[in-house]
Amino acid sequence: MVQFWDHIPDNLIAWIEKQHMFFVATSPLTGDGHVNVSPKGLTGSFHVANKNRVWYEDLSGSGVETIAHVRENGRITVMFCAFAGPARILRLFGRGTVHEFGTAEYDALVPPATRLSGSRAAVVVDVYKISTSCGYAVPVMDYKADRRALLQWSDKLERLDAQFAADRTSCPSEAVSRTSAVLPVRSLKWWWAAHNTRSLDGLPGLHRAHVVDRVPRGVVRAGRDEPPSDGTVVILGNRVPKAGLGQRAGAWVLAVGGVEREEVGRMMLAFSVGVLIAAVWVRVVGGAGC
């Protein structure tokens, strides 16, 4: 029998904290948009702040549907199923808020010491209704272990960001625009820029995680964070096909805030001229030899 509450009962909080996975459902406002359902997991990624607020670490993936939908309209439902013990389905209906990597709100929720590899945002859900139902059709399954593949994959990408940041720190004469970041291919920020700035429906996804002066592994570059107003992405040396972003080994990515695609050509030319001028200046003045 279905039961409803306006807050999470204490016994259900304890039950939630024992679960190994959950599902998140979101949808855009448009009638022909994609309704998204994402399975989530990894021990320690989900947190109950109080009886009407929960949050979880959103880890990097191939898409950004949940973040984009929540940013557009806030609607979100979190569902837990009992795969062991008494049958149960629990749904948390709420309004979501996204705090990206590199923001003060994210840092308050996800300190570096506990951050999971690949964490790109904290999704906070203010819960206004809770329901439970029987769940008799959910199979009984034994939990063996968390899969580690996602963490291993993102850890490799984060190491590239850390190395790139360290190289730039040791070579301060390298000129890069304050409103853009040149990223090595297959770094985590490159992945965010190339795959996580737009949803399948074309809604904005990540706004700033890929361009802030913060490195996922905790290496901080000199300068101050400047949030972009958009997340246009260009892969240097490649065209940007209509169906998606081109990729090529050895290429670099330029993640640009507040620039429309039509302006990319002019920006690329200005960037190249700027690099050329900087190189000439270093040679004439006898600048740093990094």
Q: What is the mean pLDDT of the chain?
A: 80
More confident residue, 82 or 220: 82
Tell me what pLDDT residue 264 has.
44
- The answer on pLDDT for 136 being more than 90 is yes
The tokens for 261 are 């695609």
pLDDT digits (tens, 9 = 90+) for 39-79: 999 999 999 999 999 999 999 999 999 999 999 999 999 99
- The answer on pLDDT for 35 being more than 70 is yes
Through-space distance between the first and last CA atoms of the chain, rounded to whole angstroms: 69
The residue with tokens 């439902």 is 77
- pTM given for the model: 0.74
More confident residue, 85 or 254: 85
More confident residue, 265 or 183: 183
pLDDT category at 90 given cuts 50, 70, 90 is very high
Tell me what pLDDT residue 214 has.
86
- The answer on pLDDT for 258 being more than 60 is no
| Domain positions in the chain | 3-133, 155-285
CB 216 within 8 A of CB 189: yes
CA distances in angstroms from 45 to 20, 28, 121, 211, 231, listed in the order given: 9, 25, 11, 24, 26
More confident residue, 216 or 68: 68
CATH fold, domain 3-133, is Pnp Oxidase; Chain A (2.30.110)
- The answer on pLDDT for 252 being more than 50 is no
Tell me what pLDDT residue 244 has.
34
pLDDT category at 203 given cuts 50, 70, 90 is very high
pLDDT digits (tens, 9 = 90+) for 272-286: 667 777 776 667 666
pLDDT, mean of residues 31-39: 94
Tell me what pLDDT residue 269 has.
62
pLDDT digits (tens, 9 = 90+) for 137-188: 999 999 999 999 999 999 999 999 988 888 777 765 444 443 344 677 889 9
In angstroms, the CA 121 to CA 60 distance is: 9
pLDDT category at 228 given cuts 50, 70, 90 is very low
